[in-house]
Amino acid sequence: MAGDIKFSVKVNDKITTDLIRKQQQINKLPEQAFMYWKSITPIDKGNAKRNTTFNRANEEIVSNYPYAEVLDQGRGFRDGKMRGSKQAPKGMSKPTEEYIAKQLQKIMRK
């Protein structure tokens, strides 16, 4: 038939592929944060690193030793004396939060 018009539209769904890739990278962040946390945990006799674990079910870092809070508060004067470790002057929580934020920025920019 004369005058027939055929029009087709093909959509390349790159958005879904990118979102899936980003979600996969984000899903790896809790364990990466744990590895970062352990890497900045001060070492004296190794007790703090040995007793820091990752609970995969809750995606939480668990520091199970008596002085965990003191180390995590960072280096500074508290209770009239110097507390914390020179090896982790900002503790572990704050630097790990900063690490996660930087990783998220990298993931989202890609």
Confidence bin at 48 (pLDDT 50/70/90): very high
Question: Of the candidates 108, 97, 98, which has an alpha carbon nearest to the alpha carbon of residue 21?
Answer: 108
Residue 79 has pLDDT above 60, yes or no: yes
- Tokens encoding 108: 């989202």
Residue 7 has pLDDT above 90, yes or no: no
Question: Of the candidates 102, 84, 103, 90, which has an alpha carbon nearest to the alpha carbon of residue 40?
Answer: 90
Is residue 54 a contact partner of residue 45, using CB atoms and an 8 Å limit?
no
Helix, strand or coil, per DSSP, at residue 55: strand
Residue range 29-42: mean pLDDT, rounded: 96
Q: Taking the domains of the chain in order of start, what are their residue ranges?
A: 16-109
Average pLDDT, whole number, for the chain?
Answer: 91
What is the structure's pLDDT at 1? Answer: 56
Is residue 37 a contact partner of residue 97, using CB atoms and an 8 Å limit?
no
- Whole-model pTM? 0.81
Is residue 71 a contact partner of residue 88, using CB atoms and an 8 Å limit?
yes
